[in-house]
Amino acid sequence: MNIPQSSFPRVVIIGGGFAGLAAAKGLEKQELQVVLIDKHNYHTFQPLLYQVATGGLEPDSIAFPLRKRFKDVENFYFRLAEVHQINPEQNSVETSIGCLDYDELIIATGSTTNFFGNTNIQKNTMEMKSVPQSLNIRSLILENFEEALLTDNIDERNALMNFVIVGGGPTGVELAGALAEMKKGILPKDYPDLDIRQMQINLIQSAECLLKGMSAKASEKAEDFLISLGVNIWKNLRVLDYDGKIVKTNGEDNFRAETVIWAAGVKGENIQGLQASSIIPRAERYKVNEYNQIEKYTNIYAIGDVACMQSEKNPYGHPMMAQPAIQQGKLVAKNILAKRFNKKQNAFVYNDKGSMATIGRNKAVVDLPKWKFQGVFAWFVWMFVHLFSLIGFRNRAVVFLNWVYNYIRFDRETRLIIRPFKAKNQKINF
Amino acid sequence: MNIPQSSFPRVVIIGGGFAGLAAAKGLEKQELQVVLIDKHNYHTFQPLLYQVATGGLEPDSIAFPLRKRFKDVENFYFRLAEVHQINPEQNSVETSIGCLDYDELIIATGSTTNFFGNTNIQKNTMEMKSVPQSLNIRSLILENFEEALLTDNIDERNALMNFVIVGGGPTGVELAGALAEMKKGILPKDYPDLDIRQMQINLIQSAECLLKGMSAKASEKAEDFLISLGVNIWKNLRVLDYDGKIVKTNGEDNFRAETVIWAAGVKGENIQGLQASSIIPRAERYKVNEYNQIEKYTNIYAIGDVACMQSEKNPYGHPMMAQPAIQQGKLVAKNILAKRFNKKQNAFVYNDKGSMATIGRNKAVVDLPKWKFQGVFAWFVWMFVHLFSLIGFRNRAVVFLNWVYNYIRFDRETRLIIRPFKAKNQKINF
């Protein structure tokens, strides 16, 4: 991998998402050599992927080149690679571009879509965890409408205009809201020869309420907002199968739809090589102690979505979201430095700053620890927080400009089919 | 294709580039039914593709959704399709989504890269006529540097850092300049462990000067600018072959390079079905009369790059650039309306407003009919003209913001490998 040997210990970080980036920042300008490995050369701001999928933002404005972030940092190395295997006995990782030794290893590989073993669903539904996947969804939505124009078969046309989103968490809710706004403001103008009223947006949630991690008020209000936008909400309904044509559920309702977006679950993106007992079955996350260390390996840490720190308070670990990831990344960096100076490592305590979701124009829900509010103000808070969480002045400026434009013009302009999805009949996930 | 029969005559326009768009605009709000067919759902502002390829602009900001442009226009229909065949006897076209009759047909299919029959070159070089192709180039440049880091073989590393651009027209010159600026300002910071001085940019031109269509002064000055940026210019040199490793020329100099960008020629993107004599061999453009009509077909027009209006003054037709395309599009629209009202059609007279090319920061050349100038002011003129030629307020604002940011920060931020090119070992041209 052509990384020079150094007199400083080497910390290898796998993954440049929220967790890995926070760890890398915490370790910069120290007497350490830091190697960050990612399969993309950019950091993705995942909370805004749904706006890329629905034509509101350019993909480039929610991604940031990792090399640029660390361009003036000494003893920092970025490598574009996939890690295939960890060899804890040899303190090394095997990657697509060769083998690398480490003194400390931080696994921050994040999460991937969980299809719960259903290969039909995996093959036929769309996921939205990366920029390319979001662009696939954007293309598919638009290609469906182009195709719906051409058919006189009413069932076929309805299926093309029927969007099923599985999963009532933040991703599903935000995507359903954004699609509903496309239906309202954009599609009737773009497709005057289609009756856009026939477009359906079905949001299917297996639990008894939306946004399960949030307050009852937020969940209720989100539902109201979605209903006011014309989204059909199906609660206590579980999707069992999808063959590309019919969505089968455990209820009486099945759906004929050409587009199913799977936002019903994620699982840890773990890497093989550690002992089997390190990994929690189904969730596939690494079991870590309060220092984010994986049991039995004192120099291997897992942070963010891929880590599961079980406690009485959090029997299933922390939520798989940006905040715990960032906080764990920061703390692990501090703990690695503490260890080097033979100081005590600090246990992780999650500081829950709250959570929020946006449903549409002037419609958002915000749960702060001491204050829960919904509506216009919540929407402004949501925008403010997301704008300032983006990396880079240019990204912030471009996103801000797009939001202002979209708000004033009731428009979303980046509706280009740059990666035709259907026409080429393949999922390109890169 | 599900286009309603109308009491108005139907004009079918193939292609939504500069020419087709101008024609469609000229025909809107008339007693005509207009059908615009394009294989993309967006218009591409081709003059700025090179900035997408070199990380200066987002692809979405130089493209504009065609449906949006015509969203309030009655009797206008857009169809996303490829046209396979023209049947002039039946007055119909065959497309990927069915057959369509026309009363008047406007062919505005533009041009495609001309490899002059060399399949090796076609297979192994990169072209830059569309957004996806520009993104391929962007990915390849960055992937080459990621790979160059990993090798200790000096020949291999040099080949990865050697960029050969074939063709000294505006595309080649602008791309070479933009690459040279990446070399100067960005790559040394992004790749501190590579010696970027070893990066080579070779611009190969078969003629005796660059920018052949422009004035001698512009050509000379462009050469000076490129040399000052460190570009190697090879004049009177012709590339004969490229096997993916070695660029063979007709001179003594061959080049070992992993990246060859072919900007050495274009040809008309004609469609089969018209009689063979309508098409000029090699150039593959339609031979048209002064009304842009194709000989023997009074209701078939060709405009823009795909049309070749030969005259004593222009034995090879007009330059294959935006200006003639726009002017022909406008006139054809007027002539079709004139014909409908039994008025005289007007012959096309090209109003050459001048031409320009930018080489880099503060470096451009402008030839106006009565004034030729180069340098900083030319650069501002170039930016101003291109900014205001873009369609849509949002695109202009985003491009402007990017340019200001890039200028102040000496940076280009959209350097993401969103479509890995090399890793997947395939050219994805969509």
What DSSP string runs through B292-331?
A: SBBTT-TTEEE-GGGEE---SS-TT-S-SSHHHHHHHHHH
**Is residue A424 predicted with pLDDT exceeding 60?**
no
Question: Residues A40-50: what's their mean pLDDT?
Answer: 96
Domains of chain B and any CATH numbers: 10-113+266-340 (3.50.50.60), 119-264 (3.50.50.100)
Q: Return mean pLDDT, chain A.
A: 94
Q: What is the dihedral of CA A371, A373, A376, A379, to 10 degrees?
A: 70
The pLDDT tens digits for B88-130 are 999 999 999 999 999 999 999 999 999 999 999 999 999 999 9
Would you tell me the crossing angle of helices B376-389 and B393-409 to the nearest 10 degrees?
A: 150
Residue of A nearest to B399 (CA): A398
Per annotation, catalytic residue among B104, B143, B174, B269: B174
Average pLDDT of the segment spanning A290-306: 96
Q: What is the pLDDT of residue B237?
A: 97
Question: Chain B residues with CB inside 8 Å of A150's CB?
Answer: 1-2, 97-98
In angstroms, rounded to a whole number, what is the distance separating the alpha carbons of residues B59 and B395?
10
The C-alpha of A80 sits at a distance from chain B's nearest C-alpha, in angstroms, of 7
Identify all chain A residues contacting B68, using CB atoms and an 8 Å cutoff: 189-190, 413, 415
Burial B272-284 (b: 16+ CB within 10 A, else e): ebbeeebbbeebb
Confidence of residue A426 (pLDDT cuts 50, 70, 90): low
A423 has pLDDT over 90: no
Identify all chain A residues contacting B16, using CB atoms and an 8 Å cutoff. Answer: none
Measured distance CA(B126)–CA(B237) in Å, rounded: 19
Banded model confidence at residue B425, pLDDT cuts 50, 70, 90: low
B63 φ/ψ angles, rounded to the nearest 5 degrees: -120, 155
Query: What does the pLDDT read at residue B427?
Result: 56
Report the phi/psi class of residue B71: left, alpha or beta, with left for phi > 0 and alpha for psi in -120 to 50.
alpha
A156 annotated active-site? no
In the chain, the amino acid numbered A295 is E
pLDDT band at B418 (very low <50, low <70, confident <90, very high): confident
B61, B150, B152 member nearest A58 (Cβ): B61
A contacts of B95 (beta carbons < 8 Å): none
Partner-chain contact B190 A80, CB within 8 Å: no
Who contacts B89 (Cβ-Cβ below 8 Å, separation ≥6)?
A: none
B138 close to B54: Cβ distance less than 8 angstroms: yes
What predicted TM-score, i.e. pTM, was given to this entire model? 0.93
- Rounded to the nearest 5 degrees, what angle is found at the Cα of B404, between the Cα atoms of B398 and B406? 100
Chain A residues in contact with B417 by the CB 8 A cut-off are 40-42, 80
At B192-228, the pLDDT tens digits run 989 999 999 999 999 999 999 899 999 999 999 999 9
> What pLDDT score was predicted for residue A417?
85
Task: Check pLDDT > 60 for residue A271.
Answer: yes
CA dist A194 and A339 (Å) reads 64
Q: What is the ipTM of this complex?
A: 0.90
- The answer to whether residue B183 scores a pLDDT higher than 70 is yes
Minimal Cβ distance to A60: which of B58, B67, B190? B58
Distance (Å) from the C-alpha of residue A1 to the closest C-alpha of chain B? 5
Q: Which ranges in A281-375 belong to alpha helices (H)? A: 322-340
Q: Helix axis angle, A393-409 relative to A376-389, nearest 10°? A: 150
Choose among A149, A190, A428: nearest Cβ to B68: A190
The predicted-structure confidence for A81-137, as pLDDT tens digits, reads as follows 999 999 999 999 999 999 999 999 999 999 999 999 999 999 999 999 999 999 999
Query: Considering only alpha carbons, which residue of chain A is nearest residue B58?
Result: A60
Structure confidence at residue B420 as a pLDDT band (50, 70, 90)? confident
Average pLDDT over every residue of A145-154: 94
Cross-chain residue pair B58–A63, CB shorter than 8 Å? no
